[in-house]
Structure 1
Amino acid sequence: MPTFMLGFIQRIFFLLLVSLVSPFLMAHGQLKYYSPEHIKQDFQQLYTDLKKSHNNLFANLPESQYQKHFQKSLLSIKKPMTEREIRLLFQKFVALGKVAHASIDLPINDFFTYREQGGTMLPLFIKINEDSVVVDEYLGENTALKTGTQILAIDNLPIESWIDRSSALLSADTSQLATTMIEARFPFLLWLLVGEQAQFNLTIKTQEGVESATAKALTREQQTLYSAKSAVPETQPRDWKLLEGNIGWIKPGPFYNIEPGAEDVWDNRGFIRFVDEAMTHFIEKDAAALIIDVRDNPGGTNSFSDHLIAWIATQPFRFSSDFRVKISEHAITSNAERLKPDTDPNDFSYLLARFYEQNELGNIVSFPLPYQQPHSDKHFNKPVFLLINRYSYSNAVNVAAILKDYGMATLVGEATADFATTYGAMEHFNLINTGIKVGFPKALIIRPNGDIRPGGVEPDIAITLSGNEHEIIERVRKLVLMHLKSD
């Protein structure tokens, strides 16, 4: 079931802008303008179809307020607009509902084309704390912009205003989730807000007091020079190894198909081979414990993650205690597109199709999620530790909730910003005139322990995740060894 949403900020930024670029976005070419009439028709369809398809469009914003925003936005459509302009207008409207899985993709391909043609951007990544915004990484020539330097303003506009303006473009259930998304995409969001700009004037706070600092916008080639100076060892999206002390470590990567040239993003055969190879090796080497690393994981589908969990599960499991689905035409159509003539009758999409046939449009009905079984012939029975952070999104959060709620693992790291009980199971529909694809959550997913309160997954052992990859993994390895000795 697709449930997209969402270490180093720069790596997350490129993960979101490269790995998750939607294939349906139009390639750059001569700008096409849409008439106000066509834009208004699509905007009306957007609102109407969201009301019919979204599991609970008004969960966080009353219908009366949503209607006011709809009328205001509708009246603002007075002249022809490009697809990029329409996407921004429509996404701001969708984002009002504060549900991460209701969204329209921002025009990322436009940004790629702009960069490929020599376009510049502010090479600055930020970290948003409770009481400050600081430099997380800067890839430019101004030495005053060191990691940890507090940013007070950009171009005389308080940094809080930039955060608010960026948040308005993002679908996020909470400000904390929006924060992680802004940190991951800040140069891109800034480009959306102001366009191309030769330089940016920052107001910063140092030990000497409040100062001004100029940061030049750089092309990709210029930025590469500074990237090389601060480069960290490249990491693989999926990886596993046996650490010192006979501790197994596996980074499953995104829970969808990332193989080069993959035509089917939900084909899990390569992932299954990867997991089986790693787990078989750990068992053969009699690994003392296992670390599953889902930091910086954008999520995906449980048809991938369930296979990994089945290696360590001690009982039947499922990712949700209650999966409440809204029956809609768009949900039915999206599911039908995933069905193939040879679909296994036990396949999730096939079961969902039968479920739709038995229920009426508009109703919200609990879908009887089947339990997944532990592997009967292969099982890792040593202690398991799951490493999470606030950049663990969507299905990675489901994995964390399963392992915590079923008592399968000890969770280490920091709380996830994304929710375990959430509106998810995203499906899509297309707008008639522009063809823009709109994502909506068809289900309310309640975490395995039945807790209906919104919130992230908390670690059992909270640790600081600063430092490079080697330092973080080494810190966790030592923690695991201490835990084993104490037992």
Structure 2
Amino acid sequence: MKNILHLIVLTVFIVSNVKAQINTDSQNRLNSLKITKTTPYKIWDVCFVQKGDFTELYKIPNHPAFDSLLTQDVEQRLLKEINIRRRELNRDTLLTSDYFYVWKPYFDWLRNEDPHYRITTVASAPSDELRSELAKNFKKQKRPPFQIYSINDSIVIRTSYEDCFKKGDLILSINNIPMSEYAKYYYNDTYSQINGYLLNYNFELASNTFDVKVLRENREENIKTEGKSMNELSRLSSIPEEYDPTIYSDANCGYIQIKAFYSDNSRLIKIITKEIKAFKNKGIKNVIIDIRRNPGGSGDRFDDLLSIFINKPTIDYMKGQKLRVSQEVLKDYDFLTVDMIGRNIEIPDKYITKSIKLDNRKFIDGLNYYVLISGNTGSVAASFANIMQYNGIAIIAGEPLLRNAVKYGETVRGKPLSYTLLLETGISTMEFDEYTKAIDGVLYPDIHIPYVASEYMTGKDAVLEKLLTIIKNK
């Protein structure tokens, strides 16, 4: 069974140094950490000196597929795109944000092959004392008081924690920087983090106030806010109840969302069981399981969860697994030896969950299931959607999963990219071969409902409403 893979949570990391070499070109050197911002507190950044074109890409030896996929032709194509961006900036010294922008073609290629692979911006300072002070400042730093959708090139407020912002507001700029500019320095996730946009753009997150220009009902409005603390936002984002059970009577449909899977899923399974039984007792015939915002987590008690929906003694799950052996995973399996490091090894069958035994006592019959997915659905959540589709248990709706969302996992800690303040959040070490209906690594929904920014500017969840309309009209 897949274990914890990758749960995307935006965190400001404070690192002591950045050592791993990203390029052997002797012209590349670490100049120094320099103060680049003093308000509201000191921010240090690395000045990466690059005279001339980049000549090679950094490699990721612990991943089971990146080295074989990164052919010479692919590398040269990516280097061409990278160097076009470097020349576009027209300077030899790159700050961390510049470096992310220049190398984004490679970062996007890596993520397209394995959505677990991401690069995040970290923060650092020249001494232990200054790093400690910086960490305290970031912890106290207030954040914009809203959550967002990123739909193509549009940033729309999904949830607001201050009355001055409204659900559906289109954000045009923050601190006089257009959102189109921020977008060049971050990933395009539908359920995204506004903090990530600001952090990746020259540490713009470190601000006394946030001047936000929004488009609301065809009128531009300028709103100034001091934001809210991390603790405030954490408390507010936990309301309403995380599973949000709702009945939509017109569609004879119950709705429940699963935002994450946990190291102990027993509480989650109890709640899901209770709510689905409550739907059934009220005469509901259709149930939507919303995992659009679920990046994954742990496969703990996955068999018990699936038993709620599937009335079979067992289901096929995994054809096989390959492991890229590294020092980090040697202790995980007793058959690994040091001489295997750097090789892909077929995992023996006895270590693989090839089929999943189910408990038919937990099965709840008489309901039609729909599973809502998006590009943010990952890891174990992606496997859940895949199993439900492959076994014909649910109709999958929404947008396709990211390519290879069910193919890789079992991550190990990533490394800093040298001479920068960029960090790999994690490296997949396992390649899975699940039973699936995915095409070229992409799991497509049975009902494709794309996100459209103008529809979300109404303040409504347009994808959910369209699915409810489809269910109602059946």
Q: Within the alignment, does 1:255 sit opposite 2:240 as a pair? A: no
Give a deviation string over 1:458-487, Cα, whole Å, max 9, x none: 14374989688999989867865x47xx6x
Match of 1:401 in 2: 386
Amino acid at match of 2:366: K
Match of 1:16 in 2: 9
As a proportion of its length, which structure holds more strand?
Answer: 2
Taking the aligned partners of 1:116 and 1:440, their CA distance within structure 2 comes to: 27
Taking the aligned partners of 2:461 and 2:93, their CA distance within structure 1 comes to: 55
CA RMSD of aligned residues (A): 5.5
Q: Does the residue aligned with 2:346 lie in a helix, a strand or coil?
A: strand
> Structure 1 residues 295 and 304, CA, compared in 2 at 3 Å: closer, same or farther?
farther
Taking the aligned partners of 2:148 and 2:258, their CA distance within structure 1 comes to: 27
Q: Within the alignment, does 1:220 sit opposite 2:224 as a pair? A: no
Match of 2:324 in 1: 327
Q: Within the alignment, does 1:365 sit opposite 2:346 as a pair? A: yes
TM-aligned CA deviation for residue 123 of structure 1: 3.9
Q: Within the alignment, does 1:39 sit opposite 2:19 as a pair? A: yes
Indicate if the aligned counterparts of 1:255 and 1:395 stay in contact, CA closer than 8 A: yes
The 5-angstrom pairing of residues 35-434 of structure 1 reads 39-40=19-20, 50-57=60-67, 59=69, 62-64=74-76, 97-98=110-111, 99-103=114-118, 106-107=121-122, 113-114=136-137, 116-117=139-140, 119-123=141-145, 125-130=147-152, 132-136=154-158, 147-148=167-168, 150-154=170-174, 157-167=177-187, 178-180=188-190, 183-194=191-202, 195=204, 196-199=206-209, 214-220=222-228, 234-238=239-243, 250-256=256-262, 266-275=263-272, 288-315=285-312, 316-320=314-318, 322-330=319-327, 332-333=329-330, 336=332, 353=333, 356=336, 360-361=340-341, 362-363=343-344, 365=346, 368=349, 369-390=353-374, 391-412=376-397, 414-419=398-403, 422-429=406-413
Match of 1:448 in 2: 435
Q: Does the residue aligned with 1:299 lie in a helix, a strand or coil?
A: coil
Give a deviation string over 1:193-229, Cα, whole Å, max 9, x none: 24323455666667778x6x5443414269979x99x
Indicate if the aligned counterparts of 2:308 and 2:362 stay in contact, CA closer than 8 A: yes
> Structure 1 residues 77 and 3, CA, compared in 2 at 3 Å: closer, same or farther?
farther
> Structure 1 residues 473 and 166, CA, compared in 2 at 3 Å: closer, same or farther?
closer
TM-aligned CA deviation for residue 409 of structure 1: 1.2
> Structure 1 residues 284 and 367, CA, compared in 2 at 3 Å: closer, same or farther?
farther
As a proportion of its length, which structure holds more helix?
Answer: 1
Indicate if the aligned counterparts of 1:247 and 1:288 stay in contact, CA closer than 8 A: yes
Taking the aligned partners of 1:469 and 1:312, their CA distance within structure 2 comes to: 29
> Structure 1 residues 286 and 60, CA, compared in 2 at 3 Å: closer, same or farther?
farther
Taking the aligned partners of 2:93 and 2:355, their CA distance within structure 1 comes to: 53
> Structure 1 residues 409 and 122, CA, compared in 2 at 3 Å: closer, same or farther?
closer
Indicate if the aligned counterparts of 2:158 and 2:167 stay in contact, CA closer than 8 A: yes
Indicate if the aligned counterparts of 1:153 and 1:204 stay in contact, CA closer than 8 A: yes
Q: Does the residue aligned with 1:396 lie in a helix, a strand or coil?
A: helix
Aligned sequence identity (%)? 15
Name structure 2 gaps, 5 residues minimum: 25-56, 125-130
Amino acid at match of 2:226: L
Q: Which moved more, 1:399-408 or 1:464-473?
A: 464-473
Aligned length: 404
> Structure 1 residues 239 and 221, CA, compared in 2 at 3 Å: closer, same or farther?
closer
TM-aligned CA deviation for residue 325 of structure 1: 1.7
Give a deviation string over 1:117-138, Cα, whole Å, max 9, x none: 3x34444554444464455556
Taking the aligned partners of 2:256 and 2:217, their CA distance within structure 1 comes to: 42
Q: Does the residue aligned with 1:51 lie in a helix, a strand or coil?
A: coil
Q: Does the residue aligned with 2:193 lie in a helix, a strand or coil?
A: helix
Taking the aligned partners of 2:242 and 2:216, their CA distance within structure 1 comes to: 37
Indicate if the aligned counterparts of 2:373 and 2:385 stay in contact, CA closer than 8 A: no
Amino acid at match of 2:290: D
TM-score, normalization by structure 1 = 0.61
Taking the aligned partners of 1:191 and 1:267, their CA distance within structure 2 comes to: 32
Q: Does the residue aligned with 2:66 lie in a helix, a strand or coil?
A: coil
TM-aligned CA deviation for residue 408 of structure 1: 0.7
Taking the aligned partners of 1:51 and 1:124, their CA distance within structure 2 comes to: 39
Amino acid at match of 1:161: E
TM-aligned CA deviation for residue 376 of structure 1: 3.7
Taking the aligned partners of 1:397 and 1:135, their CA distance within structure 2 comes to: 25
Give a deviation string over 1:326-357, Cα, whole Å, max 9, x none: 33124634x72xxxxxxxxxxxxxxxx36757
Taking the aligned partners of 1:217 and 1:151, their CA distance within structure 2 comes to: 14
Indicate if the aligned counterparts of 1:392 and 1:416 stay in contact, CA closer than 8 A: no
TM-aligned CA deviation for residue 185 of structure 1: 0.8
Indicate if the aligned counterparts of 1:101 and 1:426 stay in contact, CA closer than 8 A: no
Taking the aligned partners of 2:321 and 2:92, their CA distance within structure 1 comes to: 36
